[in-house]
Amino acid sequence: MCRVEYWIPRLLGAACALVLAISWVEPAFAIDQFILDKEDGWFWYEREPEPETPVKPPEIKPEPKKPVEPAPPKKTQPQKVEPLSVEWFQKEYQQILNKAIDEPSQENVRKYRYATRVMLDKASNFTHVFQRESLLDPLLDEANRMPFSSASRGSFMRLTIEEQAKAIKAISEKAGLWVFLDESCAFCALQYPIVARMAQDRKLTVIYITPDGKRPPWMAKTDDVRAESGQSKFLRIGVRPAVAVVVPPENVTVLTQGLLSQDMLEERLLFAGDQSGLLSKEISDKAFPERRGLLTPDDIKEIGGSMSDDTKSFTNSVQDRLQKRY
């Protein structure tokens, strides 16, 4: 009993001392940690680590595809040329001739001569059929456009001249002539009576233009003479005599610069008047008979646009358009 009483107080004291020691150690450890942590920065807060950027795996580029090599073209057999055809002669005839010249043996020369005979006979056969078709097909007979026989050609030309005279008269109703003359020009004196006679025959209105407006002594007093006022420069006339056809209000065509005969003047006047639209289709067709049965550029384009491999289709298309031109 005495021992228990003896140890209890001592044990209680030791326990209290131990509690005090522990409570003293914790603040001291906290103070030391405070001193150590003050170097970590403002309020010694540590930043949270930033998230790491995931590293992308290296891209593996696909291997380029090798181009597929096209299959080599199939060797086509050369088309066999028909013997003695035009294509055959184009390829072989010159070689036959060359060999006959280089090696003029009897065999080589005879071969060349007989090859020539065959080629000429082929041409004669073509010519025979060509002439037959030209004579028996009215659309291919050129005599239907302009006669070739001496008996009918004279009458044809006489009628053509009459129709051309009518056409010039139709032009004279809508157009006139400017004639550029000079008193000092010898050829002007020769051109004047030609123009004066044509004007009288074809009822043409003519104005004579001189540099100063004076009337040359060889000109009739009734002629209309006027002074040059820039017409020559505008028309680029550098040679006198000169003749121009004038279609009011502003269409002027130079017919000639230099001396010209009446028939050639009238021919050029016809072309200029027709180009200016002064002739009706009926008068124009009669004045230019050589245009009869002539395919126009538009006709040819239409035929080409409707062409096919069928020979009959092409022939029929041409015939249809030719019939419209007669």
Same domain flag for 269 and 225:
yes
Element (H, E) at 227: strand 224-227
Question: Could you count the other beta carbons within 10 Å of the beta carbon of residue 61?
Answer: 6
CA distance 232 to 228: 7
Same domain flag for 263 and 216:
yes
Same domain flag for 117 and 179:
no
Same domain flag for 221 and 256:
yes
What is the structure's pLDDT at 80?
86
CA distance 36 to 51: 28
Same domain flag for 315 and 285:
no
Asked, for residue 117, whether it belongs to a domain, the answer is yes
The amino acid at residue 153 is R
What is the structure's pLDDT at 66?
66
Question: Could you count the other beta carbons within 10 Å of the beta carbon of residue 323?
Answer: 11
What is the structure's pLDDT at 48?
57
Cβ-Cβ contacts under 8 Å for 246 (sequence gap 6 or more): 175, 176, 177, 178, 252
Same domain flag for 207 and 259:
yes
What is the structure's pLDDT at 29?
44
Low-confidence ranges of the chain (pLDDT < 50): 1-2, 4, 19-22, 24-31, 34-36, 41-45
Q: Which of 282, 278, 281 is nearest to 269 (CA)?
A: 278
Number of compact structural domains in the chain: 3
Asked, for residue 307, whether it belongs to a domain, the answer is yes
CA angle 222, 228, 229 (to 5 degrees): 125
Same domain flag for 95 and 216:
no
Same domain flag for 247 and 175:
yes
Same domain flag for 255 and 195:
yes
Asked, for residue 165, whether it belongs to a domain, the answer is yes
Same domain flag for 166 and 272:
yes
What is the structure's pLDDT at 149?
85
Number of helices (H), then strands (E), belonging to the chain: the values are 10, 5
Asked, for residue 63, whether it belongs to a domain, the answer is no
What is the structure's pLDDT at 147?
87
Asked, for residue 300, whether it belongs to a domain, the answer is yes
Asked, for residue 48, whether it belongs to a domain, the answer is no
What is the structure's pLDDT at 13?
57
What is the structure's pLDDT at 247?
94
Cβ-Cβ contacts under 8 Å for 81 (sequence gap 6 or more): 87, 88, 91
pLDDT, tens digit, 9 for 90 and up, residues 107-146: 999 999 999 999 999 999 999 999 999 999 999 998 888 8
Asked, for residue 8, whether it belongs to a domain, the answer is no
pLDDT, tens digit, 9 for 90 and up, residues 281-292: 999 999 999 888
Asked, for residue 271, whether it belongs to a domain, the answer is yes
What residues make up the domain containing 114? 87-132
Same domain flag for 279 and 305:
no
pLDDT, tens digit, 9 for 90 and up, residues 242-268: 999 999 988 999 999 999 999 999 999
